[in-house]
Amino acid sequence: MSLFEKIGGEDAVNAAVDVFYRKVLSDDLISHFFETVDMDKQMAKQKAFLTMAFGGPHNYTGQDMREGHKHLDLKEEHFQAVAGHLQSTLQDLGVAPDLIDEVMAIAASTHDDVLNL
Amino acid sequence: MPTLKFSDKSYSLNDSETILDGLLRQGESAPHSCKTGVCQTCLMQVVEGEVPPEAQKGLKETLQSQGYFLACQWSPSEDTSVKLPGLEDTAISASISEIRSLCHNVNLLRVTPEEGFSCVPGQYLTLVNSDGVARSYSVANLSHQDSYIDLHIRTIPGGVFSNWVNEKACVGDQVHLRGPAGDCFYIAKEGKDTPLLLAGTGTGLAPLYGIILDALSQDHTGPISLFHGALKEEDLYFVEALQELDQTTSNFSYFPCVLNGEEGAFYTCGDIQEIVLTALPEDKKELRIYLCGGPDFVNSMKKKTFLAGAASQNIYSDAFVVRSSE
């Protein structure tokens, strides 16, 4: 069974996206990066990200990650804040600790691309 | 730089410039309104070229298969040839059966389609007048039961279409309807006993009124609360009808809100956003929220109600875009 299946697949993504996005939008350190006009589009992006982090099917490449974040001038603290919200979302939803570790490892693998290092 | 052929003339397109932007930049007049791929006013048909799927999003399959696309959503990288859609393929004719003033700046326009035009209250359609000017309006009645469609047209100072309604349009005139589009409407299978909260400003009342009639006609039993926001008292409309509905329907409540109003009147004074947020029920898990009106109001309320605990999939919205030029 893949990580994505173990964690609950698309249903898990749908359950996580509201919790995760609410945490992100409520965090003054990073909320301004997410305040685009269209919440629906932002929501779709968050779903795509969570699907990838949950080990699901995705089309992201390291290059996409780099291009998509380059203009934001992100710092280590911003990356850590988002990662923290991801972790606490999974904890809120009662995901098993070993699965959370796997998800956090996938998220951590995007670190250098997201921060354009 | 790709070349664009349109109406027997050639235009150049800049890198990643949409067909609509390219035509407008070079002085060509092309129908358009929202420029975000929603209103479908900029519908065109390809003559030569490969239409990308994103430029056909939301179009009916019959239109997609004939190469129709939205000019605001396609930035060709190859030479392309396009044309305006013929009304006969894409629109059905209708006649104006009533024009009535609802308040100092809103008219009700009732149109009767000459053939079947299937739309759900809360969706919007594109109305094309006899001068070929097209605008999108929301369906404000039980269009699938009535033989006509009611639209609320707000008069916009200098607005070509709304002034046509005000000054030139007559009962019996022929118009064309295109669409419908939009997914802001009542869905009974999502639960008839869930609370519904509807909030809108100005003619945002049109789709909300349609949605309420639809919900009641499908025997929705959960509480239905309507908040209608206006700047001044005289901007409110349908007040008597909504008050009567409030009194005769046990699960419907009407809350008119006026920003610059007087205390002690029949409405609540204040900002509709704050009034709605304080009125949100304790349990928001099942709450379905409908937001219609200006984009600032709709986008801000989407975020605020979401942060207050409403589930994103239960927030339905339709942001009106007012065309700025002309």
Q: Residues A33-83: pLDDT tens digits?
A: 887 667 888 888 888 889 999 999 887 777 888 888 888 889 999 999 999
Assign 3-class secondary structure to chain B: CCEEEECCEEEECCCCCCHHHHHHHCCCCCCCCCCCCCCCCCEEEEEECCCCHHHHCCCCHHHHHCCEEEHHHCCCCCCEEEECCCHHHHCEEEEEEEEEEEECCEEEEEEEECCCCCCCECEEEEEECCCCCEEEEECCCCCCCCCCEEEEEECCCCCHHHHHHHHHCCCCCEEEEEEEECCCCCCHHHCCCCCEEEEEEHHHHHHHHHHHHHHHHCCCCCCEEEEEEECCHHHCCCHHHHHHHHHHCCCEEEEEEECCCCCCCCCEECCHHHHHHHHCCCCCCCCEEEEEECHHHHHHHHHHHHHCCCCHHHEEEEECCCCCCC
* Per-residue buried b or exposed e for A45-71, using 16+ beta carbons within 10 Å of the residue's own CB: ebbbbbbbbbbbeeeeeeeebbeebee
| Nearest-CA distance B19 → chain A (Å) | 23
- pTM of structure: 0.82
Q: CA-to-CA distance for B265 and B243, rounded, in angstroms?
A: 14
In chain B, which residues have their Cβ closer than 8 Å to the Cβ of A14? 313
Tell me the C-alpha distance between A44 and B280, whole Å: 26
**Across the interface, do B313 and A38 touch by the CB < 8 Å criterion?**
no
What's the pLDDT at B205?
98
The whole-angstrom distance between residue A52's C-alpha and the CA centroid of its chain comes to 8
Domain count along chain A: 1
Give the list of residues 6+ apart from residue A41 with CB closer than 8 angstroms, or none.
none
Beta-carbon separation of B303 and A38 below 8 A: no
Q: Do B307 and A22 touch (CB under 8 A)?
A: yes
CA angle B22, B28, B57 (to 5 degrees): 55
Percent of chain A with pLDDT over 90: 64
CB contact under 8 A, A18 and B303: no
The verdict on ipTM greater than 0.90 is: no
- Residue A81: domain span: 3-114
Q: How far is CA B214 from the centre of its chain?
A: 16
Choose, out of A13, A24, A31, A39, the residue to mutate when testing the contact with B (most B CBs < 10 Å).
A39
Query: Which of B34, B312, B321 is the best residue to mutate to test the A interface, defined by the most A CB atoms within 10 Å of its own CB?
Result: B312
Q: Residue A28: count other Cβ atoms within 10 Å of its Cβ.
A: 8
Q: B313 CA to chain A: closest CA distance, Å?
A: 9
Chain B residues in contact with A20 (beta carbon < 8 A): none
Residue B61: count other Cβ atoms within 10 Å of its Cβ. Answer: 8
Specify the amino acid at residue B119: C
Residues of B whose CB is below 8 A from A21: 306, 312
Q: Which residues of A touch B303 (CB under 8 A)?
A: 25, 39
Interchain proximity A22–B311, CB inside 8 Å: no
* R_g over Cα of chain A: 13
User: Is the CB of A22 less than 8 angstroms away from the CB of B306?
Assistant: yes
Per CB-CB distance under 8 Å, the chain A contacts of B319 are none
Residue B325 pLDDT: 43
Which residues, 6 or more positions from B308, have their beta carbon under 8 angstroms from its beta carbon?
B277, B280, B284
Q: Which residues of B touch A39 (CB under 8 A)?
A: 299, 302-303, 306, 312
Q: In a structure prediction context, what are the per-residue pLDDT tens digits for chain B, which is 326 residues long?
A: 899 999 889 999 998 999 999 999 998 888 888 888 888 889 999 999 999 999 998 888 888 888 999 999 999 999 999 998 877 777 899 999 999 999 999 999 999 999 888 899 999 999 999 888 889 999 999 998 999 999 999 999 999 999 999 999 999 999 999 988 888 999 988 889 999 999 999 999 999 999 999 999 999 999 999 999 999 999 999 999 999 999 999 999 999 999 999 988 999 999 999 999 999 999 898 999 999 999 899 999 999 999 999 999 899 998 887 765 43
Q: List residues of chain B with CB under 8 Å from any CB of chain A.
A: 295, 299, 302-303, 306-307, 311-313
Please tell me the total number of residues recorded for chain A in this structure: 117
| B chain contacts of residue A18, beta-carbon cutoff 8 Å | 306, 311-312
Contact between chains at B295 and A37 (C-beta distance less than 8 A): yes
Our CA-based measurement puts residue B73 at a distance from the nearest CA of chain A, in whole angstroms, of 15
- CA atoms of B91 and B117, how far apart (whole Å): 10
In this structure, what CATH number is given to the domain that contains residue A12?
Answer: 1.10.490.10
Q: Which two tokens stand for residue B186?
A: 């009542």
